Chains A and B, each alone.
Chain A
Amino acid sequence: MIATAFHSSNLVLVSAVFLACAVEMVEALTIVVAVGSTRSWKSAFEGVAVAVLALGALVAVFGPALVHVPLTTLRLVVGGVLLIFGLQWLRKAILRSTGYKAKHDEDAIFAETVAELNSATGDRDRLAFVMSFKGVFLEGLEVVVTVLTLGASSHELGLATITAAVALTLVAIVGAIVAKQLSGVPENAMKMAVGIMLVSYGTFWTGEGLKVSWPGNDVMIPVFVVLYALFVWVVVASLKTGEMKAEVA
């Protein structure tokens, strides 16, 4: 029973970190590919390298500091952050899948970035470097927060870091192969899955931080995943049905 709980919560952790990293890095990769193919691959890669170094420095500073925060406080803060972040992701994913918000279009972002680069005046290589740096740094910052919070609160920082590294490598390889066809990635479904996992972790860690006695302890994480997935499915189905009825009327 304990072994099952251990494995199921770790599975949720690995899935959440992997999908969150993949989604964020697809967004960053779109910008890097747009910058590289339009202006200069050298500047694009320089921007990526400096952003990765800056993110590494942040992890080096804040990662060890998290170990010194009392566990109950850490879990409450991390739980609250994950809950808010996860609910934001889920809200967007629900609105997108019910047609109330435009789907995240990597082709449109690619075209927008290319247009911005083409219309810019001044030092083009510097602009390419800055755009590439900003894209990787800002998306990477979300990856860092996700990995640090999920990893530190579940005492699996190593596992979370390795999972993130695997996700980033895979996205980089796939990105190099498919290059401009990143719009084929089922991003909304991935965001929905990540949102459900973040909210599940957020609920669990917030409760742990507030000394809630969860029945079955860690087993509650996969239980929350199932319950929230069902809830989201019902909400999406109801909203779609409601819209269809409104259209018929």
Chain B
Amino acid sequence: MAQDNQHSWAVRMLRGFGMFWWDFLIGDTPELFVSTVVLIGIVAALSLAGHWRWASVIVLPLGAALMLLGSVLKAIKAKKASSS
């Protein structure tokens, strides 16, 4: 009985911990999570390709800015679509 209680407490804690990180990183903007992972992949590839390494300095901040703009425009489009 005590073991069952401990088990369910541990499961609840783990689920709560997982939910926190899900809300924290993904929440209602999965596009930002996915595009950040893709951007990190692109910059990692550029960093490995010696000749194009300098481009990371531009690609990383520019990519972040474009991701933000894309996510904002997506939200505005959704808002307009739901109100029309």
Contacts and interface: CB of A to CB of B under 8 A. Distances in A.
B53 A213 contact: yes
Which size class do B's interface residues fall under? 20 to 34
Nearest to B65: A231
B52 to A, nearest CB: 12
A87 B61 contact: no
A210 B29 contact: no
B61 A210 contact: no
A173 interface: no
A85 B68 CA distance: 11
Interface string B58-84: 001100110111011001100100000
A49 interface: no
Contact of B40 (A80, A95, A100, A231): A80
A241 interface: no
Contacts of B11: none
Contacts, number: 87
Interface string A57-68: 000000000000
B58 to A, nearest CB: 10
A80 B67 CA distance: 13
A88 B33 CA distance: 9
Contact of A211 (B47, B68, B69, B75): B47
B27 interface: yes
A84 to B, nearest CB: 5
B22 interface: no
A100 B24 contact: no
B75 A100 contact: yes
Given A88-B29, A100-B76, A239-B76, A145 B24 contact: yes
**Closest 4 pairs between A and B when the two form their complex, measured CB to CB:** A212-B56, A210-B47, A87-B32, A84-B36
Given A87-B36, A88-B27, A100-B75, 12 more contacts: A84-B33, A87-B68, A91-B68, A91-B71, A101-B75, A101-B79, A199-B68, A203-B60, A207-B57, A213-B53, A228-B64, A239-B76
Interface of A: 76, 80-81, 83-85, 87-88, 90-91, 94-95, 100-101, 138, 141-142, 145, 199, 202-203, 206-207, 210-215, 224, 227-228, 231-232, 235, 239
